[in-house]
Amino acid sequence: MLASAWRWLKDAIVGTLAGAVAGGALGWVLAWDKVSLNGDFLTFWRACGPHLFIPLWMGTVIGFAARIDRDSLLGYFLAMAAGMAAGVLAPTAYGRMFGTPYPVSGFAATPYVLPLLLLTCGGVAAVFWRATFDKLIN
């Protein structure tokens, strides 16, 4: 029993780290013109974190949730629910992390549009992650 608990913990850590790396990479791809090191690692999070935070947050939550129940259909629903919750809570987590509300403009600034977009993207990303990359991680 202890061996299976250790294996699940190891899988959860690997899944969480893989999700965080994938989310951070996706955030960098989406905001490649705003994210650069410029040789300064001390101010990297302050300068680049706002552009990477939401994909990093969602990737981390999805990576962890995808490892909960890997052998059943319930695992897909749990991962999708976690991805949707991470999407809806992303602006709140952003505000808590950086002390300012998430900057929204354009079509996403219309009432209820940003939460619905993040909800949809979180659910789709979780199902995609679970059906592809999570299968590759052992």
66-99 per-position pLDDT tens digit: 998 888 899 899 999 999 999 999 999 999 999 9
In terms of Cα–Cα distance, which of 129, 62, 68 is closest to 89? 62
* pTM tops 0.95: no
Q: What confidence score (pLDDT) does residue 22 get?
A: 95
Q: Which residue has the higher pLDDT, 56 or 49?
A: 56
Locate the domains of the chain by residue range. 2-136
Q: 81 CB contacts (<8 Å, ≥6 apart)?
A: 65
* Mean pLDDT in residue range 123-128: 96
Measured N-to-C along each axis, helices 73-98 and 44-65 cross at an angle, to the nearest 10 degrees, of: 160
Residue-wise pLDDT tens digits, 39-55: 666 777 877 888 899 99
In terms of Cα–Cα distance, which of 62, 55, 60, 57 is closest to 30? 55
